[in-house]
Amino acid sequence: MTNKMKILIALMIAIITGSLAFSLSNIFNLRQKPNTSSDNPTTSGIKQSEPSTSETATSNINEGNSSYALRIEKLGLEAPIIPNIDGNNKEEYMKALESGVAQMAKTALPGEAGNTVIFAHSSYYESRPGNYKTIFADLDKLAAGDIIQLSSGAKIVSYTVIEIKTVKPEDVSIVNQNKNEYKLTLVTCWPPKTTNERLVVVAKEIQ
């Protein structure tokens, strides 16, 4: 066998071996990748709106106020609301979601004109801290007319569901503020174990 032929055979073996190693590496990485939501925010791509009247309103809803809570009786859901969370600050909102659901900063407080925007996990890594990793996993079971309540101390504000939809992560319209309406918007990554879309539940205040 000529030296040229030997070199050619060696080169072919090297290419085949390298390709196999690359394929195995990809398979290994895919198998190791958790089948859960990534660290991408529920509000990824959503820019926060201009300040609402919540910044000047008198309210007993403050950081760490454990009485500020979300309740959805139909789903058996009750969770503390962590207020004033920056949806574009990953460290801040991921920490908040360990302790409950989060209200996006600069959105209306309950009872105020505007849009109260609350977001939370539909799924998350089991190994990560927190007890609210799937708190919004059943949000799609809500229907028009179902009741959602926000409470702070003795104050309870009730809402009725008017719309359920999915939107792209970059759809910023869901956080828009309109002083002519009293609205609540719940947002989560959808479907669970993905961040492909956002499930959005819109409810209007019962006055």
Is pTM beyond 0.85 here?
no
pLDDT in tens, 138-184: 999 999 999 999 999 889 999 999 999 999 999 999 999 999 999 99
pLDDT greater than 60 at residue 84:
yes
Contact at 8 Å (CB) between 13 and 21? no
Between 106 and 8, residue with greater pLDDT: 106
Which segment of 41-50, 112-121, 165-174, 180-189 scores lowest on mean pLDDT? 41-50
- Cα atoms in the Cβ-side hemisphere of radius 13 Å centred on 8: 5
The pLDDT, as a whole number, for residue 59 is 43
Contact at 8 Å (CB) between 143 and 161? yes
Q: Report, as an integer, the average pLDDT of 71-96.
A: 96
Q: How many helices (H) and strands (E) does the chain have?
A: 2, 8
Contact at 8 Å (CB) between 72 and 123? no
Which amino acid, 9?
A: I
Q: How far is it, in rounded angstroms, from Cα 82 to Cα 158? A: 18
Between 173 and 13, residue with greater pLDDT: 173
